[in-house]
Amino acid sequence: MKAFYLLVLLSLAGCEQKEIVAQDNAEKIEFKTLSLDNTSYRLKSNPDKTSETFIIKTPEEFGKHFEQYGTTSSIDLDNYFVLAGYTVISSCAKLRDQHLEATEKKLIYHVNIERLACSIIDTVTYAVLIPNAQSGKLIDFDVKMAN
């Protein structure tokens, strides 16, 4: 178990963060937050990776990346698609905020994660439902860590 935590910490040290610059002509896009509280849906994570992001447009893709609990309502993938991801962090953390910006050709999903004061390795998950009208655009995930 200690070896696993050491591998996670070492892989976090080698993470490269891509800087996404907000566009001057970008507009805020409305979205629905997908509840990931382990009572409705849980995003599956790969123990070999410290972060992953997903663009999900079909029920098959949704089933590949999410576990469903209980009798939750189904996701309307006829009218929406899902942007989702997770980040493993070397301390406790939480999703601070998220928002979407769109230009004519690009959609940017901004995710801000806040570190908390504890030393337990944590995984922060995030997922939103986006209207299909935005689905033809190039998508960038802008995941940032705040101290």
Q: What would the pLDDT profile of 37-92 be if each residue is shown by its tens digit?
A: 656 788 898 989 999 999 999 999 998 999 887 655 678 899 999 999 999 999 99
Predicted pLDDT at 72: 59
Confidence of residue 9 (pLDDT cuts 50, 70, 90): very low
What CA–CA distance (Å, rounded) separates 85 from 100? 14
Query: Are the C-beta atoms of residues 31 and 126 closer than 8 Å to each other?
Result: no
Q: b or e along 99-137 (b: 16 or more beta carbons within 10 Å of the residue's beta carbon)?
A: ebbbeeeebbbbbebebeeeeebbebbbbbbbeeebeeb
DSSP letter for 117, please.
S
Record the pTM.
0.78
Per-residue pLDDT tens digits for 16-37:
333 444 456 778 888 888 877 6
Q: Domain range spanning residue 95?
A: 2-146
Domains of the chain: total: 1
CA 102 remoteness from chain centre: 17
Per-residue pLDDT tens digits for 112-143:
999 999 989 999 999 999 999 998 999 999 99
Query: Are the C-beta atoms of residues 10 and 108 closer than 8 Å to each other?
Result: no
DSSP secondary structure string for all residues of 1-52? -HHHHHHHHHHHHT--PPP-PPPTT-EEE--EEPP-SSSSEEE---TT-SEE
Query: Are the C-beta atoms of residues 15 and 49 closer than 8 Å to each other?
Result: no
Query: Are the C-beta atoms of residues 50 and 15 closer than 8 Å to each other?
Result: yes
